[in-house]
């Protein structure tokens, strides 16, 4: 699992219980008490016209300073924004579906309020894919696909035209040495002509060597083997470790 995937696989903060036990209940208690405990208190805001609960601000890490905002539609959680290091910049967004299940999690890799990746989950809570804005410009130009929380393939829009033009396939390395990625790239395909589909493919052998070069110029998905170039090691064949 990549470092980024590990981050996303952190259990989403379960704020439904938290909101009830540590936020909504304390708000009700505090409103009935004359003496208040030290530190910032949870705060609820309501829509002026409908009276519906709209926002709850509270102290998730319990250090006396509010750090988290839960945007609400009545009792339903719509989105939670976390600034757990309290630098004034959100570093994580949890988005919820109308049925209450987690939809996606956004992260700011530089803890600056700029969401540069977002992870999507199945209805069962399994990581499905991560979209990454490699230039941090709100365009998500790389997508990683996961099965059972393992990276299996990815696609990149290297030339920025909105369509993928590079595709990688991966295999798990369950016995990877410490500090090395838990996966290795097994093949890389490129769209050379702008057709929007893979046309040339490198299939890698052990240690990143090129086992064969294939071409599919006609888009028939029948890959034809091409001569292997004399230098059989390429930098692109090495497994990459993406730091979030």
Q: Which residues bind Ca ion (CB under 5 A)?
A: 59, 61, 63, 65, 67, 83, 85, 87, 89, 91, 111, 157, 159, 161, 163, 165
Distances (CA, A) of 114 to 14, 92, 93, 127: 23, 10, 11, 22
Nearer to Ca ion, 65 or 101 (CB): 65
Nearer to Ca ion, 59 or 169 (CB): 59
CB 141 → Ca ion: shortest distance, Å?
8
Nearer to Ca ion, 108 or 210 (CB): 108
CB 218 → Ca ion: shortest distance, Å?
20
According to DSSP, residue 28 is labeled: H
Pick the closest to residue 212 from 199, 230, 225 (CA basis).
225
CB 68 → Ca ion: shortest distance, Å?
8
H or E stretch including 30?
helix 25-32
CB 112 → Ca ion: shortest distance, Å?
8
CA torsion through residues 214, 152, 244, 235, sign: negative
Nearer to Ca ion, 139 or 163 (CB): 163
The Cβ-side half-sphere exposure at 96, using a 13 Å CA radius, reads 20
């Amino acid at each position: 699992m990549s470092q980024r995937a590990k981050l996303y696989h952190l259990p989403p903060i379960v704020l439904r219980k938290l909101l009830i036990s540590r936020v909504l209940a304390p708000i009700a208690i505090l409103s009935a008490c004359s003496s208040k405990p030290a530190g910032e208190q949870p705060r609820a805001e309501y829509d002026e016209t409908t009276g519906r609960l709209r926002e709850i601000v509270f102290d998730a890490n319990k250090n006396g300073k509010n750090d988290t905002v839960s945007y609400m539609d009545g009792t339903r959680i719509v989105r939670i924004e976390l600034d757990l290091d309290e630098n004034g910049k959100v570093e994580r967004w949890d988005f919820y579906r109308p049925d209450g299940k987690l939809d996606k999690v956004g992260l700011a890799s530089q803890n600056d309020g700029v969401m540069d990746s977002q992870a999507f989950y199945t209805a069962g809570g399994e990581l499905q894919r991560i979209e990454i804005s490699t230039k941090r410009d709100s365009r998500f130009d790389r997508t990683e696909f996961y099965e059972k929380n393992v990276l299996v393939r990815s696609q990149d829009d290297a030339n920025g035209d909105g369509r993928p033009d590079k595709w990688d396939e991966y295999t798990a390395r369950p016995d990877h040495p410490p500090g090395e990625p838990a996966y290795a790239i097994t093949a890389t395909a490129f769209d050379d002509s702008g057709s929007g589909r893979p046309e040339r493919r490198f299939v890698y052998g052990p240690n990143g060597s090129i086992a064969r070069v294939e071409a599919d110029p006609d888009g028939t998905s029948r890959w034809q083997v091409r001569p292997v170039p004399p230098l059989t090691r390429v930098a692109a064949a090495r497994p990459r470790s993406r730091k979030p």
